[in-house]
Amino acid sequence: MKSSTIIPTEPAAPILPGTDGKRGQHTRRREKFLTGRWEGELQDELKRRIGTTRANGMSSADMSSNVLQSVCTQLAVLYDGTVTINDDGLAGVVQRAGLWQLMAYVQRMCIGLNEGIVAIRATSGDLPQFRYVSPGYVVARSRPDEPDVPVALKELRLKEHPETGELMWVWECWDANPDRPSFHIEAAGSDGGDITRLFAEVDGVPTDALVGDAYPYRYSDGTPLLPYTVYHHQRSPFLFNAWHNSELLGSTLAAACGWSLFFHLVQDCSWPQRYMIGCSPVGVGGGDSQRAQIVTDPATVLHLKADEDSPGGQPVVGQWAAGSDPSMIADSLTKYEARLAASFGISPSDVQRMGGSAARSGYAISISQSGKRAFQQKLRPNFERGDLDLLSKTAAILNRATGSSYPESGLTISYQPVPRTEQELEAIRRHVLELLGAGLIDRVEAIMQLHPALSRTEAEKRARDIQALNITTAPR
């Protein structure tokens, strides 16, 4: 007899407690738009705007326009290229652990939610484990002098009950208090209570070794740390700035409703409406029990007959103008979407509307390479701050767990800039050569302008190499 595995039913996630409740609900709602789970939101919005009867008469809601997701995806480019760390050993470890692949997703979510969290854990092997954590499932506490850096954090996680096998929501509670760091597990919901004893270990660490002097997550000087890093879209005096740009949810829904109506109009209202007086299509009639179907379409010709009881005897056939102009509606919606992009701080000149290269990009609105580059530079300091914190904690956790000696301080990181287009490269080459020819810059500065990823030291070395090569290959 074959055994079968029963997959436990996943219970609904509890609402965050206290004043964090509304923040958590708002963040989870935003996540629906960023992860493609917002069809229900769109259908509800259509019913609210045009009424249930008209909304039900539409073929379907169109989800192809999602300005929030589109812009966040296009702007999350910091980790598209090579990320360089000044320690090769640690660089290889986090690369093999898949950190930078995960960070592309984290950045997209962070731009859309304003925060993103990465959990760091040691594993049984020599690689760390990185896991994205939604801020909609976290409550935390910070110090007044560092309001955007958590010192204690509670994460709402779905776990399997060790005894019954049922899925349950629990709070994993971490506190990096220097005097007594601790970890424990609480039951989520109204019951509450410490249930740490039910779980022998968490992420491979015995639960009885996570309190006081036995707390394993520490720097080399003994200072306890939280095995989490919180990333911020922008610096603010808040640990969670969830309401920033909250108006984009309603605007994204408005644009999606507009496109849903657009396709409804194209399908049902973009040709003239015909009418008949005193006549009917041939084949209709002949008794109440008879049912006939007449296909009408702009490409068909109807065969009509005069009604016997028609007053005046002369049938009338005519038509009204089309109920809509799809091209004007599409143009208006595209302009509206482009205006929404400005809410992210993108210059209007960097937003390309549908048509040309933008149409080939797959997005209704497309952000130019220069716009992505400018946004990357704006975000870089915030994500560099988060990455250095994460790398330092990763090194500390691995050093304590495996006996390795990765550097926990003095780390540096650099990101590959967004590639320039051929037109941009040609303009820069001409500009640099003109400045070099006029004696306004030296060869090292010229190399740095042509290759912005290089440091001055690297540019000086390249200039020396080029000079040596020119001397070697010069005709004698």
**CA 167 to CA 375: how far, in whole Å?**
41
SS3 192: coil
What tokens appear for 38 in the block?
């917002």
Nearest to 218 by CA among 252, 253, 261, 174: 174
Contacts of 221 (CB under 8 A, 6+ apart): none
What span, in angstroms and rounded, lies between the C-alpha atoms of 207 and 184? Answer: 8
Phi, psi for residue 129 in degrees, rounded to 5: -120, 130
290: tokens are 């008879």
Cα 97 from Cα 48, distance rounded (Å): 46
Query: Would you state the pLDDT for residue 361?
Result: 37
CA distance 21 to 367: 35
If 0-12 CB within 10 Å is exposed, 13-18 middle and 19+ buried, where does residue 45 land? buried
Distance between CA atoms of residues 292 and 284, nearest Å: 6
> Which of 435, 439, 364, 380 lies closest to 412, judged by CA?
380
Cβ–Cβ under 8 Å, residues 58 and 359: no
Rounded CA separation 362/351 (Å)? 14
At residue 71, φ and ψ (nearest 5 deg) are -65, -45
- Torsion angle (degrees, nearest 10) of CA 345, 349, 354, 357: -110
Rounded CA gap, 165 and 178, in Å?
36
pLDDT score, position 58: 78
Residue pair 162/5 in contact by the 8 Å Cβ criterion: no
Q: Quick one: which of 341, 345, 410 has its CA closest to 377? A: 345
Angle (CA) 46 24 177, round 5°: 170
pLDDT of the residue at 310: 66
Low-confidence stretches of the chain (pLDDT beneath 70): 1-8, 190, 200, 202-209, 270-271, 273, 283-303, 310-313, 323, 352-365, 474, 476
